[in-house]
Amino acid sequence: MGDDRFSNEAVSLTAEVKSRANRYGFDLVGIVAAADLDAVPSHWIGHRDYMCYTKKTSDYLEGARSLIILGARVWDDIFEAVVKVRDHNEYPEEWRGESYTRRLIRFLERRGYRAVLDPDHLSKKRMAQLAGFGNFGKNTLIINPEYGPWMRLRSILTDAELTPNKPFEKDLCGICEKCVKACPVGAIAPYKLDPDKCLLGMTWEQRRSAEFRAIWDEHCPNLTENTWVMCTTCQRACPYGRERRSLG
């Protein structure tokens, strides 16, 4: 039986969006009602590039009705690569994910809908939990029962009516604190990360300091002179997703 709250058009469009997203390379696809995300209390984003509170969907798109959250599984260290390009860093995996997401946006636009790519002050992790991907892990990442913390998230905000998924309510972490204990710089407390202490949040000067250089070199090894692998030590400690990651 279908859900009487939604039109046949919404149900049909949702099915096509999910089918296309899978074909474009996303392993997980979920829908969140814009009103459900807006109902989540605003919280502080502590990353140095985003020192602000989360926003509402209307800040990005008037008449927004749905969010599409997309999860791409990462199964190899090449997905964690960072390339230094002159005075900034680039992330090759982001190019791939953005390209796939833009294909889905073009599909929605051809249908007459408006869509916004990755609204940066809307929490993708909260969308992923509301869409049923997994729970907030103690390492502050979303933990999926099958893929563990090994996912990249992209999002689309749209005025299309789509049928939402059910939230993920189970606690997968329980008493486990392997990720907390594994962090080489003690940046993780259960469900809380100190972004300034994390290797990935440190300034370049801190990373190359006498105190942290050896730790950085061990956990963020170089691939080439200008390319290195982001630290994934807390992810590797998580028991979820290990088997699928090794299978590629």
- Per DSSP bridges, beta strands 192-193 and 135-136 are unpaired
Cβ(161)–Cβ(3) below 8 Å: no
Catalytic member of 38, 118, 120, 194: 118
**Catalytic site includes residue 171:** no
**HSE (CB half, 13 Å, CA atoms) of 17?**
34
Distance between CA atoms of residues 151 and 28, nearest Å? 9
Residues with catalytic annotation? 118
